C-alpha cells in the first residue's frame, strides 16, 4: 500500500513539474512591449519629426524582440491629437510618446482614462502619475551656432525664422544672438514670426524676406527644410536645426544643431519593461548627449570649427553657460537689465523667458 502511494506521489510530482511554467520548455514567449509615437508633421528626410523617428528606430534596434513600435504622422495639435493618442492606448500600446508642445493637454486628458499606460510628453511641462515630461536644452546648441554665424557673416546681419513666441523659441533666439555677439559685437538678428510650426511655403518666403534685408545667414525654429533650401537657392548661409541638412543645402549649411532622442527613448522603454518607470521631468543638453552641434559645411574654416567644438566641450563641462552675464549686464532690446553682471539665470527663469535680448530686431510675437 505504502509502495503504491509513494509511486503515485512520484508520478504526481513529475506531472506537476512537467506542466509547471518553471519546468516547461514550451513556455509561451512574453509579448513585446507595444510603444506608440505621435508625430505633428509628415516624416520627412530631416527636421523635428525626423529626429524623433530616428529615436523610435533606435529603440527598436536596442531592444530588438522586446518592443513593437508604431507611429502616426501628420497629426494636428488639438482634438485630432486626442483622438489619435486615445486610439493608440486602446490598441494596447503601454508606452506612448507625444513629441509636440501642443500635445501636452490631449496627452494629460487621455492619461486620466488609461492609468496603466505610460505617457511621455516631449516639450510639455505638465506631469501626472503616468505622464512624464522631457525636453532638451536647445538653447545650448543655439549659442554655439551663433558663434559660427558671428564668425562667418560678412554683413553682420542674421535672420531668424521663428514658429511661435513660446519660451523655448525665445531661449533659442536669445542664445543665438548672445553667441553671435560674443565673437562679433556688431551683429544683429532680425526675427520673423510665422505662428506656424510647419508651413514650407511661408518658411521659404520668410527666409527670402530676410535675405532682402541684408541677412547673409539665417537660423530657424520651424519644422521643415524650406529655410535651408532658400539659403541654398540664394547663395546665402544657414544654420540647420533638428537634423543635419547638408543633403538639402550642401553649400549653404555652416553648422547643424541636432537633437538626439534615441538614448532617452530607449531608457524609458527599458524602464517600462523592467517595472522601474516613474513620472518625472528631464531637461537634458549637451552634457547629456541630447543636443549636439557639428556637421559643418565645406565653407567653414577649420579655426571656426575648432572654436565651436571647444565651446561645446566647455558647455558640457559646465564652464560656459549661455545665460550667464560674465562680462557685464545683459539687457533686453528695450534697454532693461535682464541678467545682471555675474548672475546666471536659473532653470525657472529660463523656462519663463519672455524677452528678446539686445541685438534682436523685433518684438515677442511680432
Per-residue pLDDT, 27:
57
What does the block give as the cell for 217? 545667414
Question: Do 66 and 125 contact (CB within 8 A), yes or no?
Answer: no
Helices (H), 164-277: 167-183, 200-211, 226-234, 262-274
pLDDT classification of 322: cutoffs 50, 70, 90: very high
Per-residue pLDDT, 45:
87
pLDDT classification of 47: cutoffs 50, 70, 90: confident
When pLDDT is averaged across residues 292-317 and rounded to a whole number, the result is: 97
Nearest one of 284, 246, 298, 254 to 147, comparing CA atoms: 254
* Percent residues over pLDDT 70 in the chain: 92
Residue 97 has pLDDT above 60, yes or no: yes
Nearest one of 52, 47, 109 to 264, comparing CA atoms: 52
| Averaged pLDDT score across all residues of the chain | 91
d(CA 174, CA 181): 10
Tally DSSP H helices, then E strands, for the chain. 11, 15
What does the block give as the cell for 272? 517600462
pLDDT digits (tens, 9 = 90+) for 329-364: 999 999 999 999 999 999 999 999 999 999 999 899
Backbone angles phi, psi at 113, to 5 degrees: -90, -10
Residue 13 has pLDDT above 50, yes or no: no
Quote the pTM value: 0.84
* Tally of CB atoms within 10 A around 63: 19
* Tally of CB atoms within 10 A around 297: 22
CA torsion sign for 54, 55, 61, 65 is: negative
When pLDDT is averaged across residues 94-102 and rounded to a whole number, the result is: 95
d(CA 353, CA 210): 25
Q: How many residues make up the chain in this entry?
A: 366
d(CA 233, CA 250): 11
Beta bridge partners of 128: 131
d(CA 171, CA 46): 22
Residue 19 has pLDDT above 80, yes or no: no
When pLDDT is averaged across residues 238-252 and rounded to a whole number, the result is: 95
d(CA 191, CA 197): 15
Per-residue pLDDT, 17:
41
DSSP symbols for 12-24: HHHHHHHHSTTT-
Strand duo 291-294 + 253-259: pairing = antiparallel
Q: CA of 97: how far to CAs of 45, 81, 134, 305, in Å?
A: 20, 12, 10, 35
d(CA 104, CA 295): 32
Per-residue pLDDT, 91:
97
What does the block give as the cell for 3? 509502495
What is the three-class DSSP state of 164? coil
When pLDDT is averaged across residues 6-14 and rounded to a whole number, the result is: 42
Question: Do 52 and 97 contact (CB within 8 A), yes or no?
Answer: yes
Residues 6+ apart with CB under 8 A from 310: none
Higher pLDDT, 258 or 7: 258
Nearest one of 181, 209, 179 to 194, comparing CA atoms: 209
End-to-end CA distance of the chain: 97
Question: Do 75 and 84 contact (CB within 8 A), yes or no?
Answer: yes
pLDDT digits (tens, 9 = 90+) for 199-208: 999 999 999 9
Amino acid at each position: 500500500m505504502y509502495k503504491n502511494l509513494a509511486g503515485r506521489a512520484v508520478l504526481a510530482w513529475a506531472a506537476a513539474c512537467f506542466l509547471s511554467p518553471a519546468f516547461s520548455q514550451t513556455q509561451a514567449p512574453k509579448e513585446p512591449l507595444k510603444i506608440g509615437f505621435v508625430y505633428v508633421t509628415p516624416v520627412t528626410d530631416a527636421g523635428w519629426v525626423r529626429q524623433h523617428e530616428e529615436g523610435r528606430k533606435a529603440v527598436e534596434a536596442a531592444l530588438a524582440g522586446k518592443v513593437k513600435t508604431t507611429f502616426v504622422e501628420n497629426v494636428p495639435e488639438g482634438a485630432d491629437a486626442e483622438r489619435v493618442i486615445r486610439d493608440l492606448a486602446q490598441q494596447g500600446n503601454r508606452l506612448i510618446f507625444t513629441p509636440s508642445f501642443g500635445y501636452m493637454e490631449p496627452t494629460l486628458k487621455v492619461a486620466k482614462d488609461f492609468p496603466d499606460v505610460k505617457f511621455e510628453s516631449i516639450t510639455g511641462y505638465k506631469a501626472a502619475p503616468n505622464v512624464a515630461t522631457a525636453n532638451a536644452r536647445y538653447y545650448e546648441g543655439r549659442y554655439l551656432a551663433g558663434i559660427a554665424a558671428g564668425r562667418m557673416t560678412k554683413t553682420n546681419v542674421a535672420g531668424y525664422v521663428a514658429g511661435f513666441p513660446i519660451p523655448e523659441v525665445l531661449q533659442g533666439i536669445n542664445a543665438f544672438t548672445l553667441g553671435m555677439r560674443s565673437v562679433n559685437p556688431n551683429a544683429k538678428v532680425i526675427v520673423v514670426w510665422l505662428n506656424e510650426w510647419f508651413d514650407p511655403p511661408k518658411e521659404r518666403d520668410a527666409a527670402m524676406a530676410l535675405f532682402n534685408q541684408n541677412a547673409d545667414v539665417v537660423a530657424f525654429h520651424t519644422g521643415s527644410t524650406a529655410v535651408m533650401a532658400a539659403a541654398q537657392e540664394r547663395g546665402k548661409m544657414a544654420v540647420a536645426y533638428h537634423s543635419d541638412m547638408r543633403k538639402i543645402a550642401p553649400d549653404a549649411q555652416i553648422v547643424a544643431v541636432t537633437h538626439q532622442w534615441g538614448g532617452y527613448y530607449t531608457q524609458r522603454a527599458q524602464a517600462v519593461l523592467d517595472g522601474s518607470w516613474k513620472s518625472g521631468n528631464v531637461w537634458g543638453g549637451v552634457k547629456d548627449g541630447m543636443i549636439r552641434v557639428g556637421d559643418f559645411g565645406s565653407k567653414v574654416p577649420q579655426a571656426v570649427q575648432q572654436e565651436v567644438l571647444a565651446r561645446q566641450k566647455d558647455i558640457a563641462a559646465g564652464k560656459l553657460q549661455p545665460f550667464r552675464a560674465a562680462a557685464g549686464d545683459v539687457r533686453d532690446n528695450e534697454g532693461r537689465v535682464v541678467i545682471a553682471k555675474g548672475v546666471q539665470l536659473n532653470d525657472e527663469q529660463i523656462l519663463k523667458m519672455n524677452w528678446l535680448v539686445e541685438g534682436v530686431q523685433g518684438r515677442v510675437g511680432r
